[in-house]
Structure 1
C-alpha cells in the first residue's frame, strides 16, 4: 500500500513564514518518502522512524519530529488513509519485539501457577512495550497481529486470560500428579481438593465447608509441593491451633506418604522464634496456662487495690454507674418484650440486694437506668419512692393509648418521688429526636407530658440515652443541686461493706480478669485504645473500666518480669517483633494454616510478617467463615471475609463437596447461615442425596428437657427405630446445647446409655462439638431468654469493645454456632425447643418454611 499526500495550500503559499519545508509525503513499503521544496527528496526507512521519531498530535494538524532533523509540520489530521498506512508500517517494525516478549511471558506462565505478583509484573512489562510502540502511532494499526492483541490483554490485566493461563496449568498438574492425589487418603481427593492443592498464588484461601476434608487438603498441599519439586519439607511451615490437630497431620503425612515434617501450633512457633533469637527457651507463666490460677491472682490483686482510697472510690463509682447493661425501651418492639428482658437479666437495686427493701426502695426495677438512679440516690442518702401512685393528677384526656392496650394511665406515675423535697424524677420515654418507643402513641404521650410540665409540680427530667453515653448521673446531680437538694453521701468504707455484702465485687473481679485476657490478646497501643474508647457506644463505661484495669495490668506485667516469664500473648507479640525487625531469619517459603477462621489479629500479623520476610513466600490458609465461633478468644472473622484487605490479592478455592451430612441438612444449614450477607457464599454439595427433610422439631413445655423423659427419651426412642435403616448396628448420637447446664449430667447420661444400649451417646456444648460428628444430633436449650439459644444476654459492652470488630447482623456468631450444631449430624438433626418460649432460630425455620419435619413425633401422642 502506497499513499501520498501534499502539504495544505496555505502552508505551500507561506512555507517560510509557517516553517513548512515539505511538499509531499509518501508512505510506502520501504519507508516514508519526503518531498522537500528546497532540496532533494529523502527516504526515511521505517526501521529508523520506529526508533527515532515522535508524533505530536493536534486538533487539526500533526507533526513528525526527528532526531537531528527539522520537524515536518502541518500534516493534516484528515489524511486518514495516510495515517493508517503510516501506523501500519511502523507497527510492523515492532512485531519482532512483540513476538519475543510474548514468548518470554508465555514461557514464564507455562512453568508455574501465575501468581498475582507475577501477573502484575507481566502487566508492567507488556504495557511498557506497547507504550513504546504506540507512542509512534497516530492511530491503532488496522491489522494488529495476534501477539499484539495478546500483549494488550496482558497489559490490561484481562482476568479471563489470567484464568485461562491458570486453568491450563491446573489441568496439566492434575494429570501429572494423579497418582499422588489418589493415594493421599483412602479415597482419591476430589477435583476441588486437587485444584486447591495446586493453586499457588502469593496468598491462597481455601473455604472448606463442614465435612469437606480440610485436613486432607492440607496434607495434599504439603505432599504436592514436595512431589512437584517446589519445596522441601524444611521449606514448609504447617500451623494448627491445637497440639492434637498438629500431631494428627504430622502422623498422617508420615504414615501414609512417608513425609517427615514438623506440624506445629502458634505457641510452639512463638517459642521457636524467641529461642532462636535469645538462645534459650522462654519460660511460660503458670498464670497463662491455668485460667483458675489467673482468676485467683486477679482476685488477690483486686482485693489489695481496694485498700487504696482512690481505687476504692473508682470501683464504687463504676458499680453505681455501670454495673448494669444500658438497656433501653427503644430497643424492643413491645413493652412486654422489654420487661421480659429485664426480668431475665435480674435488675435489682444495691439496697435490695443488701437488705431487701431499705429506704423504701424495694429491689425490682423496670429498667436498668431506673436502677442506676435508685442506687445513686441511695448512696447519697436521698430518700425516694419508686413509682408511687397518687403524685400526679390523672385526667382522662391525659391517658396514653398504646399498641398493647387502649388506655395506660400508669405512664403518668413518676419514676421516682423524693418525699423530703417534694420532687419527682421522670425517665422520659423520648429519644434524642423526641420520638417514643414503638408501643406508645407519640401525640398522646407528648400531650400528657406537656400537661405535667404545667401542673406546678417540681420535676427533674432524664432520658434513657444518658445512661448509654454516661451522662445520666451527672445530669441528675446537677439538677438536684439546682433545686437545692443537699446530699449526705455514705462513706466509701461503708458503701464498700454494703457492696461486699451484696456480693457485687466478685462479678467485677471476674470482668476485670476477662478484660485482662482480652487486653493481652489485643495488645493495643495507646492510640488504638483511645480509638476503641471513642468508637464505643458507651465510652464512659469503657474508660472507667480501663481505669480499673490499668493497675491490674501493670501488676501482671511486673509479675511476668519479676519471675522472668512470658504468657502466650507475649510470646506471639515478641515473635512478631523479632520477625519484623529482621532478627529472626525465616526458613519457610510456604506457610500453611489450619482453621484460619479462628485467627486473631496478632497471629495474622505474625503470619504476614513471616510471609513478607522471604521473597516469593506463599500463604495457604484453610478455613470456613461459616464456622467462626470463637470471637470471645480474640478470633476475627473479618480476617477471613476480608482476607485480601489484610494479606493482599488472593486466589480463593472452595471445597464444594461434603462427606458428612446429607443434602437436606446441607441445604437447610447453608440457607440459614447465609441469611447474614457478610458470610462468604459457597455451594456445598452433599455426597448423600435425600428428598425428605432431615431436621426434625420437637416442641415441649419442660423446664429441664435433659432430664424429662418426654423430651430426650422420646427423641432417642425415635432414633432407635431409625437406626437399623440409616446407620446399621453401630450408631452414634451427639447431644448438644449452648450451655453446659442444659445438657444431661454424667449420671443422667449413664442412665440413658443403659436404656438405649444400641446407641453410643455423648454430650457436648456446641463450642466443644466443633470438629466432631455423629450419626444423629440432638440440640437442647432452644428457647428465648438470657440463657437461651441464641442467647439474649449480649457480650459485656466493655469486653465487646476490647474484642475484634463486632458484627451488625443480629446474632451473627450465634447463627454460625447453630450452623455448626446442625452440621454435626450425618443423617438427622433433632431440635427440641420450648413451645412457650421458642428460640428465634426455630421460629425462623418454621415461619420461613425451611425444609423441616414437624410431625415426626405426632404418632407417639
Structure 2
C-alpha cells in the first residue's frame, strides 16, 4: 500500500493544477476560458486538513484486505455503507479530472485513472458483500463446526441454517425459528461462538434476555453445563429493567405480583364504595352477574372451588403461592388463607405498606383483614424458619422478615411520625411452629404437610382472639364452596379484569387521558355495546387514574413501569455503563410488547458497533393478552432502526434503488430455521397449512421428519353445551389415553382454557392417570410430548375462542397493521395458539371436534394429512346436506332423559348425541324412560339424523341430532 501511495505522489513532482508541455510558451495555443476545475494537487494529495483521494484509497484498500484476505469479520451493513460512501465521495472528486483530461497534466489524469480503478475495486467488493459473507460463513464453519457438532453427541450435526444463524454477525441479526427447530440450542451456540471467535469480547460484554425466569435458568444451565461459560448476564427483560430503575432511583419501590393486585383491589374497593360511583357500580355489577355469576349451577361452583384448593397449588382465595423443595412459607400461606375464608373473614393478600420500610425496600405483609367490623386494622405475617431462610435467595435481607423485625413495625417509635395505635400485627414464628428444622422434614409426606398446616391454623386462631376481630362460624361443605365462589367471581375476577384493563392501556402507552379518549371513541362507534360496559369503563378509567398517580415510576413502580423508565433513561443517555452491552441477545422476541422492543432499540443505540441477536417465531406469538406484538418481530429491522446510521445515507436507496448489484439488500442479517426436529412431516405440513391462513406473518417453509402417521381428527356426536355436555369428549380422551402406544407420562392433553371451563378440566383430572400432562396450550409453549391430544377444536368453548372480552375490548385495540390488511387480530392470535398446540406432538396427534360445529381450524387442516373419524359416512353427510335428513339404524344406550322432549344417547363409538323426542309417540317416550333408568342397550331402527339450529341465536353452526318419530322402531 505504501508503495502505491508513493507512486501516486511521484506523479506530482511539479504543479498539477495546469497542463504541462514541451512547447515554448509563445507557441502554445490559447487556453480555454477558465472553468471551475479542482486543484488536482489538493484532490490527490490533500491539503489544509482535507484528506486526499490517494490517502482515502490506501485506507479503503487496507480496510478491504482486512476482510477479503484475513476474514476479519462478517461484513456488516454499517461497515459496508461507510466504505461505500467514502468510495463514492472519492470517485466523485476524481470525476472532473477524468472527464476533462485536456485541462490537466497527463500525470494528473493518469493518477486519477489509477486511483479510480483501485477505488472502484473496493466499491465492487462492497457490492459483492453477500458473496464475501457467504465465504465468511464457510470459513467459520470450517473453523468452529466440528467443535460445535461435538456438543450434540450421537453423531448429530448442525444444519446449514443453524450455522448461518450462529455465525452471521451483522449489527442486527434476526433468527426466524419455526417450532421444533432448535432455537434454544442455536441461542447458546451463538454465545459460545462469539466468545470463542473474538478475543476482545468477554462474557461480561454479553446480555442475554429471555422471556421467563425459567428461560433464564435453562440458558444459564446450557452455557455452564455445555460450554463451561459463566459470567454472561442472563436476565428477563423485567429483571434487567428493574436493576436499571433501582440504580437510578435507589429509593424506588417495586410492587409486583400479588402485592400489585392488592393495590388495585384497594383502589377498586375505594371507588366502588364512594358515592360518586355508586350508580355506575350498581349498573356494572348487575350486568356482571348476568354475564358471569351463576351460583345455582352446582357443577360450576364446585369446579371453581376445586380450582382454588390444593389440587391446583393455590390458596382458596385464588392467590398465587409459590412452592419449592421446602414449601414451608407457601403451605403456611395456604393454611392462613383457608382459615380466613372458612371463618368468613375478608382479606387482602401480599399488602404493600406505604408506612413501613424494611432494609430491602418497601415492606410487604402477607395478609391484611378487610372490613372486619372494627376500627382496628389487623395484619398477619408468617416468618419462615431459619433453616428455610438460610438457602432461599428470595429473602433479600437477612433481617427483613425475622419476627422481631416485623413486630417492631407495630410498636410506637419516637423517631417515626407513623401512628400505629390502630394497627395490630400478628406475627407467626416459623421456628416456634415447626420445632424441627425445615430442611430435616419430609415435605413430600402428606401427613407432614397436614400437621404443619394444622399448627399454623391453631397459632393463628389463638392470636386472633387477642384482637377485636370476631371470626364467623366455620363454613364447611357447600357453604364453603359458595363463599369461595362468591369471593372469586364477584370480587377477585373483577379486580383481575380491572388490572387487565389497565395493563392493556399501558402496553399501548395510553395515559389515563388518552385511554379515556380511546374508550369514548370505541363506545361511540361500536354497533352493539353490552349492558354494563360503559359503567365498567367509567369505573376502570377512574381506577387507572388513581393507579397512575400511585405508580409514578419514581417512588413506586411495577415491572411495566420499570421497563418504560429504563427505555426513557436509555434514550436520555442516563444509564450507567455497567448496564450497557456491546452484544445483546433476545430470546422469544415475538412475545415482546412495543415498550420492551423500545428498550432493545435504546440499548442498541448506546454503543457503537453493537450486535443485536434476536430469536423468535411470530407463528408462535400467543401472548397478545399481555401486549405481545408479533408484527414488531415481523418488522424487526424498521422497529429496531437497523439501517438508521448517523451520517450515512439511507441503506435501502444505496443498496437497491441506485445499485442493482445489491438488489437482495436487507437492513439486517435474516436467518430462518426450518428443520423441525420434533414433529413428523404429517404434523408439520398440516400446521403449516393452518398458519398460512394468517395474513400478518413472516414467510417460512418448515419441514419435519419423514416418519409420521396421519393426524386423527375425531368428529364427535354433540358436545356443544358448555360445561355439562362434555361427557363424550372426556370419554374419547380416556379411550385415546388407554389405547395410546405411549405410556401416560408421554401423553399431553392441551386445553384452550382452564379457568373458563373448570368442570371439564377437573373431570379430566379425575378421569385420567396422574401421569398424563393436562395443561393449556399457553402453558405448553416450549414443551413436547410423544402423544398430543387437542380437544374441543370446535365452535363452542374451544379453539378458536373468538368471543371478545366485553369489559376489556374498549382498550384492547389491535395494531394498525391488522386494520390495514383487513385481518382479524383475535382469530389470528387463536390460530397461532392452535399452531403451538399441534406442534408439541413428537409422534401422534389426535384432534377432537364436534360434527356440525367444527372449528375453522379443522377445515384448514389438509385432508391428505388427516384421517377423519365421523359418526356419519360421507354418503350420509351428502344426504343430510341435500335432503336435510337421512335414516339409518343407530345403536347405543340412553345416557340421560332430561324432560319429555329431550334425551341423550351414548352412540356406540361416536360419543353422546341429542335425541329429539318432540315427534315421538307416547309409547316411545315411555320405553326410552325405562331404558334411561336401566341403562340398557337400544337400537333405533330407521332413526332420522339431521342438523338442527341450536337455541343460541348467535351460534353460526348446526347441531347433529337424532330424530325419534313414529317411523322409528325401538329394539332392546
User: What is the TM-score with the length of structure 2 in the denominator?
Assistant: 0.54
Task: Indicate yes or no: 2:706 matched with 1:689.
Answer: yes
Query: 2: CA distance between counterparts of 1:139 and 1:746?
Result: 85
Query: 2: CA distance between counterparts of 1:137 and 1:640?
Result: 48
| 1:660 paired residue number | 678
Q: Within 5 Å, which residues of 2 pair with 1:374-389? A: none
| 1:733 paired residue number | 747
Task: Indicate yes or no: 2:775 matched with 1:784.
Answer: no
Query: 2: CA distance between counterparts of 1:100 and 1:575?
Result: 40
Aligned to 1:606, the other structure's residue is in SS state helix
Query: 2: CA distance between counterparts of 1:178 and 1:617?
Result: 25
Query: 1: CA distance between counterparts of 2:728 and 2:545?
Result: 54
Query: 2: CA distance between counterparts of 1:663 and 1:262?
Result: 38
Query: 2: CA distance between counterparts of 1:588 and 1:279?
Result: 22
| 2:581 paired residue number | 588
Give me the CA root mean square deviation: 4.5
Which among 27, 33, 37 is matched to residue 40 of structure 1? Answer: 27
| 1:169 paired residue number | 136
Deviation at residue 843 of structure 1 after TM alignment = 2.8
Decide whether aligned partners of structure 1 residues 796 and 567 sit closer, same or farther in structure 2, where only a CA change above 3 A counts: same
Query: 1: CA distance between counterparts of 2:534 and 2:830?
Result: 28
Alpha-carbon contact 1:705-1:712 (below 8 Å) kept: no
Aligned to 1:516, the other structure's residue is in SS state helix
Deviations 1:717-739 (A, max 9, x none): 4565551xxx6x68611111212
Alpha-carbon contact 1:298-1:509 (below 8 Å) kept: no
Decide whether aligned partners of structure 1 residues 40 and 812 sit closer, same or farther in structure 2, where only a CA change above 3 A counts: same
Query: 2: CA distance between counterparts of 1:538 and 1:139?
Result: 70
Q: Within 5 Å, which residues of 2 pair with 1:673-822? A: 673-686=691-704, 688-690=705-707, 692-702=709-719, 703=721, 710-715=728-733, 717-718=735-736, 721=739, 723=741, 732-740=746-754, 741-742=756-757, 748-749=763-764, 751-754=766-769, 760-785=771-796, 787-796=797-806, 799=809, 801-802=811-812, 805=815, 807=818, 808-810=822-824, 811-822=827-838
Which among 635, 638, 648 is matched to residue 628 of structure 2? Answer: 635
| 1:840 paired residue number | 856
| 1:220 paired residue number | 189
Decide whether aligned partners of structure 1 residues 133 and 290 sit closer, same or farther in structure 2, where only a CA change above 3 A counts: same
Which among 166, 169, 180 is matched to residue 200 of structure 1? Answer: 169
* Runs (5+) with no aligned partner, structure 1: 1-30, 45-54, 57-62, 70-92, 325-343, 348-499
Which among 511, 517, 527 is matched to residue 503 of structure 2? Answer: 517
Query: 2: CA distance between counterparts of 1:679 and 1:556?
Result: 35
Decide whether aligned partners of structure 1 residues 135 and 38 sit closer, same or farther in structure 2, where only a CA change above 3 A counts: closer
Alpha-carbon contact 1:696-1:853 (below 8 Å) kept: yes
Q: Within 5 Å, which residues of 2 pair with 1:477-626? A: 511-525=497-511, 532=518, 536=522, 538=524, 548-560=539-551, 564-585=555-576, 586-626=579-619
Query: 2: CA distance between counterparts of 1:519 and 1:97?
Result: 53
Query: 1: CA distance between counterparts of 2:534 and 2:201?
Result: 50
Deviation at residue 822 of structure 1 after TM alignment = 0.9
Decide whether aligned partners of structure 1 residues 318 and 691 sit closer, same or farther in structure 2, where only a CA change above 3 A counts: closer
Decide whether aligned partners of structure 1 residues 64 and 694 sit closer, same or farther in structure 2, where only a CA change above 3 A counts: same
Alpha-carbon contact 2:242-2:559 (below 8 Å) kept: no
Alpha-carbon contact 1:237-1:588 (below 8 Å) kept: yes
Deviations 1:128-165 (A, max 9, x none): 122122333449999x9999679558758976x12112
| 2:229 paired residue number | 259
Deviation at residue 112 of structure 1 after TM alignment = 0.8
Task: Indicate yes or no: 2:871 matched with 1:853.
Answer: no
Decide whether aligned partners of structure 1 residues 826 and 716 sit closer, same or farther in structure 2, where only a CA change above 3 A counts: farther
Decide whether aligned partners of structure 1 residues 258 and 346 sit closer, same or farther in structure 2, where only a CA change above 3 A counts: closer
Aligned to 2:693, the other structure's residue is in SS state coil
Aligned to 1:165, the other structure's residue is in SS state helix
Which among 233, 248, 251 is matched to residue 277 of structure 1? Answer: 248
Aligned to 2:778, the other structure's residue is in SS state helix
Deviation at residue 123 of structure 1 after TM alignment = 1.5
Deviation at residue 633 of structure 1 after TM alignment = 0.6
* Runs (5+) with no aligned partner, structure 2: 1-17, 41-51, 102-108, 294-485, 643-666, 874-907, 911-972
Decide whether aligned partners of structure 1 residues 139 and 789 sit closer, same or farther in structure 2, where only a CA change above 3 A counts: farther
Q: Within 5 Å, which residues of 2 pair with 1:47-196? A: 101-108=60-67, 110-138=71-99, 155=123, 161-186=128-153, 187-196=156-165
| 1:378 paired residue number | none
Instruction: State the aligned residue count.
Output: 599
